Amino acid sequence: MTNLHEIAHKLLTNDNRIVIGHAEGVNGRVRPFFAWTPEHAGRLVYDDRCLQNLAGYVYKKEVTRLGKPAVVANTPTLRSILRLAVEKQLTDGSFSALVEETPGQFVELTGLAEMERFLGGRVQPEKTSDKELTEWLLHASRSERWHFWQTEFERCIRCCACRQACPLCYCSQCTVEENQPQWIPVAPHRHGNTEWHIMRAMHLAGRCVTCGQCGEVCPVDIPIHLLTFHVSDTVREAYGVQAGTSLGESSAMSTYRPDDRENFIR
């Protein structure tokens, strides 16, 4: 029996709080849920279906104006919170995280240092299907990889669901929305789609926490998350940076050291 309802009910009763979690949706699926009254606490659920990364809601003004957020956080959500704190998007003490310490038993973490200790470097396991496709791509020829991604990008309808699902895509105006000058073509064609996805992957280099939400929400099932996964693996191997594991981590793509290796240049 989970004590999540008990903790959420207490927070919503005694403080000006809002609890961000999951609730039952339709067809056996769950959806994000915002509880702001004690009566809402009983609707919260937490099980294997609760995979959505909720960190992106913590800093939104539409949410914070309802009260101090407490987010029910799985591993990717907690890693995203640490990364957002490193990038000065979240401040210590302005929110809390409800995490499952042991099966069915939740605790509230009120500070970033507590969240870092709780994570202890843990990461989300990779799906078997992702491992298999990644393995094929790594051993495929350059022309085979190019053909694969070009074929995938042709199906992109430029809905930007991948951007909306990513908690690290927090710019108030994205490059793709600029029209003076227009950096990326708006129409969903091969050229513009390729530029968009490569640009997005590079913007997440050293920042992606590998939650996989961008690929999960894609309406045409493009495995776009594998691009950011691969770039993140490359940054980790080259610079030793694993996003969302430490409050002291650097920003690999905006930090220069005279002894940086340049073996990534081919």
Q: How far is CA 139 from the centre of its chain?
A: 27
Which pLDDT value is given to residue 97? Answer: 97
Distance CA 73, CA 57 (A): 12
pLDDT the model gives residue 265: 58
Query: What percent of the residues of the chain are helix, what percent strand, and what percent coil, each to the nearest 5?
Result: 45, 10, 45
Q: Beta strand 105-109 with 96-102: parallel, antiparallel or unpaired?
A: antiparallel
How buried is 145 (Cβ within 10 angstroms: 0-12 exposed, 13-18 middle, 19+ buried)? Answer: middle
Read off the pTM. Answer: 0.88
Residue 142's identity, in one-letter code, is R
- Contact present, 56 and 83 (Cβ < 8 Å): no
Alpha helices in 87-224 (DSSP H): 112-119, 128-139, 142-154, 161-165, 190-203, 213-217
Burial class (CB in 10 A: 0-12, 13-18, 19+), 234: middle
**Per-block average pLDDT, block size 10, for the chain (266 residues)?**
88 89 94 94 94 93 91 95 94 95 93 94 80 93 95 93 93 75 75 89 91 94 94 86 87 72 62
What interhelical angle do 225-239 and 128-139 show, nearest 10?
70
Q: What is the pLDDT of residue 171?
A: 85
Please tell me the predicted confidence (pLDDT) of residue 132.
92
Q: What is the SS3 assignment for 9? A: helix
The token pair at 160 is 């930007």
